A and B are shown apart, each in its own frame.
Chain A
Amino acid sequence: MLEIRGAAGRVATQLLITVLVAPFVFPLWSMLQGSLAGDGLGNYSSVLGLPQLPAFFRNSLLIAVCTVVLVYASTMLASFALAKLPFVGKEVLFYVLLLALTMPSAALTVPLFITVQRLGLLDSFVAVILPLTALAIPLNVLLARGFIAALPDELFEAARLDGCGTLRTFWHLVLPLIRPISAVVVVWTFVGAWNEYLLPLLFLQSPTNQTITQLPQFFSTQYGSDQTKIIAGAVIITLPTVIVYLALQKLFERGLTAGAIK
């Protein structure tokens, strides 16, 4: 985007971004040092050696993937409708979704529990997936709707003239064109579901149904906790989110593709 001239310019730019990033790196570095204090790499092997780790990992993965699928589907459909389809009460429904965004999580636990218990869903993954989906949708609709709205109406005109129905338009026109924001939606939803601590703690009660965010309990006692291992655990927990982010990087790079208008 910016024009960088000459080697000096390139070096200066590289220096600039490095200096700007340095304050962000410093706490990360502190954390890494913390994870290697005491036992050193033994902290990592303690965490990785936990017999419950594979099960917890699987549970978290299951919950995260299901949440992402549900959120993606409902968000894209709704964003497309709110951005491009005409119907009465659009603005109201948009606000209805936004209002849900304003609720703080502390106020949700008891009523959520009541709902979950009434539906007989306690200790099932659905009890975590559904609320996570419900909480992720408003944010992602807000993000995706704007992107879709920015697509030129002429495209949709052309599609209609070509005889495409709403569904085909959605599938073949909209989805490919919004890959970058789709990637954003997937990444943030995955991160939110993966990092969720309170809902699995309260709603998943069998020891085999725990998620990876419950790892710190193995290193906590009534009097303080073993911070070195908890931080090592946190580093390990973060890895899948980084992997998801990197894997979707390509989608961030790709722009509008050829042949959108035939």
Chain B
Amino acid sequence: MKTVALTRHRHEQSTLTQHRAGRAAKGSAPHGPRRNNVAGYLYVAPAVLVVVGIVYFAIVYTLRISVLDWDGLSPDPVAVGLDNYVRLVEDAVFWRSLGHMAMFALAVLVQMALGLGFAILLHSGVRAKTLYKVLLFLPVVLAPAVMAPVFRQIFDADGELNTMLRAVGLDALAHPWLADPSTALYALITINVWQWTGFSFVLYYAGLTQVDASLIEAARIDGAGNWRVISSLLIPLTRGTTVTLAILGVIGTIKTFDIPYLVTGGGPARSTEVLATYLYQQGITDFHVGYGAALTVVLMIMSLVLTVSQVRRFKLGSEA
């Protein structure tokens, strides 16, 4: 039985707009005199001033000390030009950490898929919605420092995961997950998915509220089943959210620190080392502030390049 869509008074153009937004349309600027130029700068000013004033000093500072051999404390740093960068290129741990970060990028895809799935399900009339929403939200807001020991216990050789595997007869799979260099990274990726799916979920949930119910109605009248609705409507209509999450996902993956640092410390045998934990160890634990800064600069450049290419590709910057 097809139900009649409840008419909420939406402006007629919303139908067209949703499709246009779905195809990342380049909206044309309102025609008229360019009197908004000044307004544009004014409106953007507070954000830019705060961000530039505070973060950019840090960026410049980092750049400057990346050409030093310095422990951060002594009064006579030694300028070594690009030595730190050359050392970085020859550093095996650096390249290994890049490989590990690529694996974390996979986690982002899983998080987004799960987040969208949950958002769709929770918009589809399941009971106890609020409970599920809170359960998905909690992992994002719980302090990683507190969750790390809990996860170490779960993944322990005689921890809950192995106990459950043994209980269902999958003894062969029971493993000291975090102690084995070949499995530790996967355990961390699982923890990462656990922690961040809620973030994708909240965003997708908000994005789906913008979807016009009449569109779905129209599709139903045309005979579309659930999968059709998802693939032809919901996914395209939440494209903006997907792109945003992809960008944030890339940056987040590159900056990933808490979970590898707190759960495994980059080990065992550096099998879970990522760039952020490595630069922390170099810059803060080992007092190689210059080298740590060089690693930071590389991290930032990587993030920037990937972000700009994504923004360009999805034409986010050139609207209006």
Contacts and interface: CB of A to CB of B under 8 A. Distances in A.
A227 B206 CA distance: 36
Nearest to B143: A234
B114 A160 contact: no
A260 interface: yes
A48 interface: no
Interface in B100-159: 114, 117-118, 120-127, 130, 132-143, 145-147, 149-151, 153-154
Interface string B52-87: 111111110110000000001000000000000000
Given A17-B118, A107-B283, A1 B234 contact: yes
A41 interface: no
B284 A238 contact: no
A111 B126 contact: no
B232 interface: no
Contacts of B138: 28, 238, 242
B293 A107 contact: yes
Interface stretch (A50-58, A139-147, A203-211): A139-147
A253 B117 CA distance: 18
Interface in A75-103: 75, 77-78, 80-88, 90-91, 93-103
Contact of B284 (A21, A106, A153, A213): A106
B295 to A, nearest CB: 9
B16 interface: yes
Q: How large is the interface on B (under 10, 10 to 19, 20 to 34, 35 or more residues)?
A: 35 or more
A24 B30 contact: no
Given A24-B139, A102-B303, A78 B147 contact: no
A81 B319 CA distance: 11
Tell me if A's interface is mostly helix, strand, loop or mixed: helix
Tell me if B's interface is mostly helix, strand, loop or mixed: helix
Given A28-B135, A135-B55, A150-B21, A106 B283 contact: yes
Interface of A: 1-4, 10, 13-14, 16-17, 20-21, 23-28, 30-31, 34, 70, 73-75, 77-78, 80-88, 90-91, 93-108, 110-112, 114-115, 130-131, 133-135, 137-139, 141-143, 145-147, 149-157, 160, 166, 170, 180-181, 183-184, 187-188, 191, 195, 197, 213, 216, 227, 230-231, 234, 237-238, 241-242, 245-246, 249, 252-261
22 contacts: A3-B226, A20-B117, A81-B41, A83-B319, A83-B320, A86-B37, A87-B44, A97-B47, A98-B304, A100-B56, A102-B300, A102-B304, A107-B62, A107-B279, A110-B289, A134-B50, A146-B243, A153-B27, A153-B28, A234-B143, A255-B10, A258-B9
Interface of B: 8-14, 16-17, 20-21, 27-30, 32, 34, 36-44, 46-48, 50-59, 61-62, 72, 114, 117-118, 120-127, 130, 132-143, 145-147, 149-151, 153-154, 160, 194, 197-199, 202-203, 205-211, 216, 220, 226, 229-230, 234, 240-241, 243-244, 247-248, 251, 254-255, 257, 276, 279-280, 283-284, 289, 292-293, 296, 299-300, 303-304, 307-308, 311, 316-320
